[in-house]
Structure 1
């Protein structure tokens, strides 16, 4: 039976929010748990939107975190299709878009992120897409199928993870694909030029065309439909559809209006400590919107990937309940493109490392890459090599110096190189 004297409200109906609600009940919280989401769909996981669901290999029902009936069974009060328009900290209340006011004892902000828009002429044309929500994936999936049948062209602005995964899906449908990217390689800000070129080669082998060193500056069309994309170096690319995949921005407007401290770091977000507490001791943040201070990996770090939502939601729930929480997981993400599956652990943007060491066969796409600084492993990427994530993360956590020759030698077990952690990501 629910004890109505304590109310915890979760703002955000994604993976972080739903897993936080689950954790509150698993930890024995008997008060009211209210979960508010601005989509009408029940909470779902986002990776399938650019992977299995987009390609057609996964059914729509497979993306949901829980069966719809689970929420009632766990006494989770759902407010779907609702936005929170005001967070009144002195009154400890929330106001929803329909005028409903909710009292809270503690709040978790799991408002996520939203796709960045192209600020150029032509974005109002009918076949310009973003990919963040299930409704976006529904629409894009239909368009990719049509493009494949009609030998149509998709132009993708941005060669990050979403852009590359959609490119792979589009090629599987048979669509023509051009990717426009201002950096010299795909994934340049994440993997640097060394591994970025690997993904350029991979996609070019599958028929994707790249235009590096340029930005989309205009989308042209007629009768409301896209016809071409122009870049700032004077090139024009034929297009029937355009995907803007230029990153995501944390949804901080509610927190900002409430006077909560925001991160001054490059990724922005709501500033939280290692227990995921904001500048208000009764308000927490998790998932894409949270920027964690003083992590072992960076002074402030906001991680947008699935594993962070999966793990930080429950961690925030335990912190809300008074648990001793230190959220310091190694950043982790995964991707699937064509016949290449990969996992990346750590944090090593360009400029932070001094060498990249590989073990295995890079040409056959079966290897592990390590980013090092002063012989200490900052990050690792395993490509079509499995069951090594724990060992890679142990090396990252240990911060021990390793000999690059041994790191590159597949006959030397990773566990012999000095990692002593628990392998949790």
Structure 2
């Protein structure tokens, strides 16, 4: 038997191979990654690692001895160049590896600025890989000026780190407001106020025309005709599903990423996908979930289905973001909401998303109780009356009864 090959040595890939072994699979197992380091956590990169509060050894998910003990062949720093589904073979340059089943856990790639917009200048950074953070770390010196392009969670987390390190921070967002794709105006208002209280300049509804400089970025021309002098720039304008070119060349169906069925199988019955790169149908729409929770849970579900479990994957989404002293915890998906209910209990605040009478999601700011209760309600399919949620006198735990 050729065994199982997994392409993508991130959170999903690591979870998938570990689950295969824990479930009793004893055949050949190979995990391939294009980075030269073993699988590691990505969320702390733009938070504690960039702040210097977490060392690289704490990022690593599993010790090298785990892979050796579990007879998992790790191939690191070796990007896959081609998949041949007919021959059931993957190619790493001139090296080929046969497979019986193949899993794609290729994550996501950051959107880059084109060269015409200054994307190839020195001092311009993305936030996705360990190497990205290591490359920009020396730029974070007090008094320097940083431009952050993009008002999503990645850009906002980078802005928080830069502010805490004493930099002069300007964040621009081309959309009318920050967090426009992922959060309600109420959440965005609270996050914006938090950043402004720490001296961050946030300019919304303002796009970037180009970064300027000869070989290194020194400034930015903005869409309103103004110019901003900067020492470096961080680009946080979203991500695209990873591995799409590889999958497309292999003849796999793409639809907002690598399209899978409810089990995680792609259009080729011997090839599976999980994590940020994979799209699947949820509540009648094809979606991708970009989160650690989904990477782990979906990968483990795919591992079980590769071994014959035949159990559809049903996500229980949750996310988080750390900015300054605020911990934002998110349960559920707010897609399709038509009402937001605010619960304000002093320093703890939460925003509850409803569609009609149905609770969809909760954004909880320094409110672990609101997050915990909201998450459990969503998982149990319960929807408390919005008036009860909004009343600070309501005992949230009672809503679970």
* Residues 121 and 216, structure 2, Cα contact 8 Å, conserved in 1: yes
- CA positional deviation for 1:194: 2.1
2:65 to 33, 44, 69: 69
Give the aligned partner of residue 385 of structure 1.
367
Matched, 1:225 2:216: yes
Q: What SS does the corresponding residue of 2:184 show, helix, strand or coil?
A: helix
CA distances 1:283-307 after superposition (whole Å, capped 9, x unpaired): 11011001012x13x5111011111
Give the C-alpha shift of residue 325 in structure 1.
Answer: 2.2
Q: Corresponding residue for 1:234? A: 225
Larger mean Cα displacement after TM superposition, 307-316 or 153-162: 307-316
Give the match for residue 111 of structure 1: 106
Q: Return the match for 2:278 from 290, 294, 319.
A: 290
1:225 Cα offset (Å): 2.0
Is 1:7 aligned with 2:3? Answer: yes
Offset at residue 126 of structure 1 (A) = 0.7
Tell me the residue number matched to 2:339.
Answer: 355
Assess if the C-alpha contact under 8 Å between 2:209 and 2:222 holds in 1: yes
Residues 180-214 of structure 1 deviation map (CA, whole Å, 9 limit, x = unaligned):
10122211111122211111111000010011111
Is 1:317 aligned to 2:313, yes or no? no
The answer to whether the 8 Å contact 2:184/2:340 transfers is: no
Q: Residues 219 and 229 of structure 1 are in contact (CA less than 8 Å); yes or no, is this contact kept in structure 2? A: yes
Q: 1: distance between equivalents of 2:347 and 2:328?
A: 10
Q: Is residue 194 of structure 1 aligned with residue 190 of structure 2? A: no
Aligned counterpart, 2:169: 177
1:126 match: 122
Residue 234 of structure 2 corresponds to 243
Match 1:203 to one of 195, 211, 230: 195
Q: Kindly indicate whether the alpha-carbon contact (under 8 Å) linking 2:350 and 2:370 is maintained by their aligned counterparts in 1.
A: no
Partner Cα separation in structure 2 for residue 23 and residue 388 of structure 1: 32
- Separation in 2 of the partners of 1:89 and 1:16? 22
In structure 2, C-alpha distance between the alignment counterparts of 1:324 and 1:77, rounded to whole Å: 26
Equivalent in the alignment of 2:135: 139
For 1:423, the equivalent position in structure 2 comes to: none
- 1: distance between equivalents of 2:315 and 2:41? 20
| SS of residue in 1 equivalent to 2:313 | coil
Is residue 2:254 matched to residue 1:270?
no
In the TM superposition, residue 416 of structure 1 has moved relative to its aligned partner by 4.0
Matched, 1:166 2:154: no
* Aligned-partner Cα distance in 1 for 2:383–2:324: 35
Measured in 2, the distance between the counterparts of 1:336 and 1:365 equals 16
**Structure 1 pair 158–136 and aligned structure 2 pair: CA distance change class (3 A):** same
Please state how far the C-alpha of 1:415 moved relative to its aligned partner.
Answer: 4.6
1:250-270 CA distance string (max 9 Å, x none): 02111111111111xxxx111
Deviations 1:362-404 (A, max 9, x none): xx54122101111211110111111554431232244445321
Structure 1 residues 373 and 86: CA distance shift in structure 2, 3 A: same
**SS of 1:188 mapped into structure 2:** coil
Taking a change above 3 Å as real, the CA distance of residues 67 and 400 of structure 1, as seen in their structure-2 partners, is closer
Does 1:257 find its partner at 2:249? yes
Q: How many residues align?
A: 399
How far off its partner does 1:411 sit?
3.6
Report the Cα distance in structure 1 between the residues aligned to 2:257 and 2:347, rounded to whole angstroms: 35
1:90 to 68, 80, 86: 86
Which ranges in structure 1 are unaligned for 5 or more consecutive residues? 421-425
Bigger mean CA offset, 153-162 vs 326-335:
326-335
Q: Partners in 1 of 2:57 and 2:342 — Cα distance?
A: 39
Partners in 2 of 1:413 and 1:113 — Cα distance? Answer: 40
Q: Distance in 1 between matches of 2:46 and 2:347?
A: 21
Q: Does 1:22 align with 2:18?
A: yes
Unaligned runs of 5+ in 2: none
Which residue pairs with 1:78 in the alignment? 74
RMSD: 1.6
Q: Shift of the alpha carbon at 1:26?
A: 0.6
Normalised by the length of structure 1, the TM-score is: 0.90
State the distance in 2 between where 1:415 and 1:6 align: 52
C-alpha distance in 2 between matches for 1:189 and 1:365: 26
Residues 112 and 288 in structure 1, CA contact (< 8 A), matched pair in contact too: yes
Q: Is the 8 A contact 2:32 2:76 kept in 1?
A: yes
Q: Distance in 2 between matches of 1:121 and 1:227?
A: 13
TM-score, structure 2 normalization: 0.96
Superposed displacement of residue 241, structure 1 = 0.4
